[in-house]
Structure 1
């Protein structure tokens, strides 16, 4: 999968899960369905973490500036902002069709580039490790509770 395809799919998935979360909030606060935010929020949270991981991977591979990378991460926090961000970086040619650090690509220099190069050359292992890390972070966030409960 190319960086462009990965980023496009996850940007769209973020939009879909934002919609699920918002519908869940409507269900909870308008109709008393407390479970609705749990379902919508859980799905959105998982996709949010996946989008964040993909943003860091593309940022590293494409050598985005810190400003663009941070903006990419921030776009996941603002409802529906991931698609305009993805389209913007694509229009500017920042989502080339191939991975720079992929098989047969450039040699990595920094530690993040070496990690990403390994992931691109061993995609099954990388996918399993990424899913385990995302699931672990997701589980820790569930244990931490709802953000509204952190300060009460």
Structure 2
């Protein structure tokens, strides 16, 4: 793969960061919609809830992909998933993971990369 082709691929770090931030913003939107509903301003909960649900599931899928790619230990991967349930916790988790170097590198199972082992790595290699 050439340098130009690699520059078009989103790194695990950039993908994880973007979904961690998006998850935080959709939490804020959902909480805001709930507050508005309590004051009978507008019922935006179905819209905010749907957007948050989509981003939440996308964050979880991204966390699993990065977890597999970066070979995180079980407790770290589960922590990343469980913190999505806590409002605004995905960004601090991403910051700590990045500072510890847990998000560095490219996709190791991309074409021309490592040979996948096990079902999850084969699925990730097929998607990537």
**TM-score, normalised by the number of residues in structure 1:** 0.75
> Residue 119 of structure 2 is aligned with which of 111, 118, 125?
111
Aligned to 2:3: none
Structure 1 residue runs of 4 or more that deviate by more than 2 Å after TM superposition:
none
Aligned to 1:97: 105
| 1:40 counterpart SS class | helix
| Cα offsets for 1:14-67 (capped at 9, x unmatched) | 11101110110011112252x311111111011000000001111111111110
Instruction: Report 1:3-152 matches (<5 A).
Output: 3-33=12-42, 35-120=43-128
2 CA distance for matches of 1:110 and 1:101? 12
Note the residue ranges of structure 2 that are not aligned, 5 or more in a row: 1-9
Greater share of helix: 1
Root-mean-square deviation (CA, aligned residues, Å) is 1.0
Q: Is 63-72 or 97-106 further displaced after alignment?
A: 97-106
